[in-house]
Amino acid sequence: MKHARIAYAGAVHDATEHEGQLRLADGRLVPFGAVVWLPPLAPTPRPRTILALGLNYADHAKELAFKAPEEPLVFIKGEGSLIGHRAFTQRPAEVKFMHYECELAIVIGRTAKKVRREDAYDFIAGYTVANDYAIRDYLENWYRPNLRVKNRDTCTPIGPWLVDRQDVPDPMALALQTTVNGKVTQSGNTRDMIFDVPFLVAYFSRFMTLQPGDLILTGTPDGVVDCQPGDVVVTRIAQIGELVNTIA
């Protein structure tokens, strides 16, 4: 099932996809274009932990002239960076290079601590599409991107759907694609991840407790280009959805 979180008629609603419309909890059907899309995540009683992978596709590491990492390169993002489908991402006026990153995002479904790799999928609620923008002007080290590169307000669109884990039989065989103003600029497949979905859940849960609603952004393939104000960036992942974002 595809789940969404939206603002409509002065209230926030959880909704599901139903024959090309949104079905609210009270049964009403609402057109996609009549709502404000929010990140498709339930609120949590604590700050949400967002773990993001760097250089998790060998072709992207090569694109940046780096050797593929031997263990996950990870940084933490704040929840304030998240925005929804069809929202606007602010490009600072002075920057020279800002690029998208189409990523499969794992949403944790239950408390995970010291999870075995073979049990990892049992701890996943589902998957969504993330677009993890980076501003290269501020980059000092690809292995440890600083806050101004990766932790900016509006710079992590996510959604539109949270797709149940059971509806994605193999998350390691999903095509990814990005278009900018309708032109394909990035293509890849999750099978090319260096560290796959079950490995990542097991790896992080070895030394930290993952809680329901936490996110793991799994990295991006090669093909990133600079985005300018007015550009419409669409990040697509097969079986998960199509996330639309505009640069402002």
pLDDT of residue 65: 58
- Stretch 104-119: mean pLDDT: 98
**Do residues 102 and 7 share a domain?**
no
**Do residues 77 and 102 share a domain?**
yes
Report the C-alpha dihedral over residues 140, 221, 242, 89, rounded to 10 degrees: 10
pLDDT of residue 79: 94
pLDDT tens for each residue of 23-71: 999 999 999 999 999 999 999 888 899 999 988 987 665 666 567 778 8
Could you tell me if residue 97 is left (phi over 0), alpha (psi between -120 and 50 degrees) or otherwise beta? beta
pLDDT of residue 54: 86
**Do residues 215 and 94 share a domain?**
yes
**Do residues 28 and 110 share a domain?**
no
What is the rounded distance in angstroms from the CA atom of residue 164 to the CA atom of residue 167?
5
The total of structural domains in the chain comes to 2
**Do residues 24 and 111 share a domain?**
no
Q: Is the pLDDT of residue 202 over 90?
A: yes
- Stretch 100-129: mean pLDDT: 98
Q: Is the pLDDT of residue 144 over 70?
A: no
pLDDT tens for each residue of 151-173: 889 999 999 999 999 999 999 99
pLDDT of residue 108: 98
Mean pLDDT of the chain: 93
**Do residues 118 and 213 share a domain?**
yes
**Do residues 235 and 212 share a domain?**
yes
**Do residues 143 and 51 share a domain?**
yes
**Do residues 221 and 144 share a domain?**
yes
**Cβ neighbours around 109 below 10 Å, total:** 18
CATH number assigned to the domain comprising residue 26: 2.30.30.370
**DSSP assignment string, 77-128:** E-GGGEE-TT-EEPPPTT-S-EE--EEEEEEE-S-BSS--GGGGGGGEEEEE
**Do residues 138 and 164 share a domain?**
yes
CATH number assigned to the domain comprising residue 155: 3.90.850.10
**Do residues 106 and 177 share a domain?**
yes
In this structure, the chain runs to a length of 248
pLDDT of residue 63: 65
pLDDT of residue 206: 97
Token digits of residue 185: 């600029």
pLDDT of residue 45: 86
Domain housing 49: 43-247
- Stretch 218-227: mean pLDDT: 93
**Do residues 193 and 240 share a domain?**
yes
- Stretch 222-247: mean pLDDT: 96
pLDDT of residue 141: 63
- Bridge partners (DSSP) listed for residue 76: 51
pLDDT of residue 151: 83
Percent of the chain with pLDDT over 70: 94
